Structure 1
Amino acid sequence: METDAWLSGSLPPGSSRSTAPAVLAELAAEAGVAFNGDAPWDIQVYDERLYRRILTQGSLGFGEAYMDGQWECLRLDELFARLMRIDADVRIGRWTRLRLLGEILRHGLFNLQSVRRAFQVGAHHYDIGNDVFQAMLDPSMSYSCAYWPNAATLAEAQRAKLDLICRKLELRAGEHLLEIGCGWGGLARHAAQHYSVRVTGITVSREQQAFARERCAGLPVSIELMDYRELSGSFDKAVSVGMFEHVGPKNYDDYFAAVRRALKDDGLFLLHTIGIYTTCKHTDAWIDRHIFPNGKLPSARELAAALEKHFLIEDWHNFGTDYDRTLMAWWENFDRAWPTLQARYDERFYRMWRYYLMCCAGFFRSRQGLLWQVVLSKRQRAEAYRSVR
Structure 2
Amino acid sequence: MRTPDVSHGPHATRHAPPASSPCAVAASPLRRRFAALLAEADVRLDGDRPWDLQVRDERLFARVLATGSLGFGEAYMDGWWDAAQLDVLLARLLQARLDRRVRGIGDLWLALRATLINAQAGRRAYRVGERHYDLGNDLYRAMLGRRLVYSCGYWREAADLDAAQEAKLDLVCRKLGLQPGMRVLDIGCGWGEALKFAAERYGVRGVGITVSREQAAFARELCAGLPIEIRLQDYRELDERFDRVFSIGMFEHVGVRNYRRYFEMVRRCLPADGLTVLHTIGTNVSTNRTDPWIDRYIFPNSMLPSVAQIAAASEGLFVLEDWHNFGTDYDRTLQAWRDNIEAAWHTLPARYDERFRRMWRYYLHASMAMFRVRHAQLWQVVLSPEGVPGGYVAPR
Post-superposition offset of 1:30: 1.6
TM-fit CA distance, 1:35: 1.2
Judge which range, 337-346 or 324-333, deviates more. 337-346
Match of 2:72 in 1: 62
Instruction: Tell me whether 1:283 sits opposite 2:283 in the alignment.
Output: no
1:4 aligns with none
In 1, distance between residues paired with 2:65 and 2:330? Answer: 30
Alignment equivalent of 1:249, drawn from 242, 245, 256: 256
Structure-2 separation of matches of 1:380 and 1:304: 15
Residue in 2 that maps onto 1:78: 88
Matches within 5 A, 1:351-370: 351-370=358-377
1:91 aligns with 2:98: no
Partner of 2:142: 135
How many angstroms apart in 1 are the aligned matches of 2:126 and 2:292? 20
Structure-2-length-normalised TM-score: 0.91
Matched with 2:224 is 217
Contact 1:9 1:53 in 2 (8 A): no
Q: Report if aligned partners of 1:320, 1:364 keep a CA contact under 8 Å in 2.
A: yes
Alignment-mate amino acid for residue 63 of structure 1:
G
1:296-307 map, 5 Å: 296-307=303-314
Contact residue 200 and residue 224 of structure 1 kept, 8 A: yes
In 2, Cα distance between the equivalents of 1:54 and 1:214?
Answer: 45
What amino acid sits opposite 1:86 in the alignment? A
Report the equivalent of 2:182: 175
2:110 to 88, 103, 123: 103
User: Would you say the 8 A contact 2:184–2:206 is kept in 1?
Assistant: yes
Q: Cα deviations across residues 194-229 of structure 1 (Å, max 9, x unaligned)?
A: 000001100000000010111111111111110001
Alpha-carbon deviation of 1:76?
A: 0.9
Q: C-alpha distance in 1, partners of 2:231/2:315? A: 29
Change (3 A) 1:9 1:369: farther
Residue 319 of structure 2 contacts residue 387 of structure 2 at CA under 8 Å; is this kept in 1?
Answer: no
Q: TM-score, normalised by structure 1?
A: 0.93
1:225–1:383 CA distance, 2 compared to 1 (3 A): farther
Cα displacement (A) at 1:312: 1.3
Work out the CA distance in 1 between the residues paired with 2:226 and 2:220.
10
- Taking every aligned residue pair, what percent have the same amino acid on both sides? 56
Contact 2:276 2:383 (8 Å CA) reproduced: yes
Aligned to 1:349: 356
Other structure's SS at 2:364 match: helix
Residue of structure 1 in register with 2:15 after alignment: none
Check the 8 A contact 1:266/1:382 in 2, yes or no. Answer: no
Contact 1:9 1:56 in 2 (8 A): no
Q: Which runs of 5+ in 1 are unaligned?
A: 1-7, 11-17
Q: Deviations over 1:321-352 (max 9, x none)?
A: 00000001001000101000152311111001
SS in structure 2 opposite 1:283? Answer: coil
Q: 1:309, CA displacement in angstroms?
A: 2.5
Cα distance, 1:387 vs structure 2: 1.4
Counterpart in 1 of 2:268? 261
What pairs up with 1:197-236 in 2 under 5 angstroms? Answer: 197-236=204-243
1:36 aligned partner, one-letter code? D
Verify the 8 A CA contact 1:9 1:55 in the aligned structure 2.
Answer: no
Distance in 2, matches of 1:314 and 1:23, equals: 50
TM-superposed deviation, 1:103: 1.7
User: C-alpha displacement at 1:91, in angstroms?
Assistant: 1.3
Alignment match, 2:322: 315
Give the residue type in structure 1 aligned to 2:77.
Answer: M
- Aligned AA (1:39): R
Q: Does 1:51 align with 2:58?
A: no
Q: What amino acid maps onto 2:257 in structure 1?
A: K
Determine the C-alpha separation between the residues in 2 that align with 1:174 and 1:69: 54
**CA deviation after TM superposition for structure 1 residue 380, in Å:** 6.0
**Residue correspondences, number:** 372
Residues in 2 aligned to 1:380 and 1:150: alpha-carbon distance in whole angstroms = 30
Partners of 2:318 and 2:384 within 8 A in 1: yes
- Distance across 2 between alignment mates of 1:322 and 1:314: 22
CA deviations over 1:112-150 (Å, ceiling 9, x no partner):
000221111000000000000000002111000000011
Whether the 8 Å contact between 2:192 and 2:220 is mirrored in structure 1 is: yes
Q: 1:202 to 1:383 in 2, by over 3 A?
A: farther
Residue in 1 that maps onto 2:123 = 116
CA distance in 2, matches of 1:338, 1:104: 36
* CA distance 1:105–1:196, shift in 2 (3 Å): same
Deviates more, 1:236-245 or 1:336-345: 336-345
Equivalence for 1:21: 31
Distance 1:380 1:213 in 2: 35
**Unaligned ranges ≥5, structure 2:** 1-21
Residues 298-324 of structure 1, C-alpha deviation per residue, up to 9 Å, x if partnerless? Answer: 111111111112211100000110000
Whichever residue aligns with residue 152 of structure 1, its letter is A
- Please list every run of at least 4 consecutive aligned residues from structure 1 whose deviation after the TM superposition is greater than 2 angstroms: 98-102, 380-384
Closer, same or farther: CA 9–301 of 1 in aligned 2, 3 Å: farther
- SS of corresponding position for 1:174: coil
Compute the displacement of 1:239 (Å).
0.2
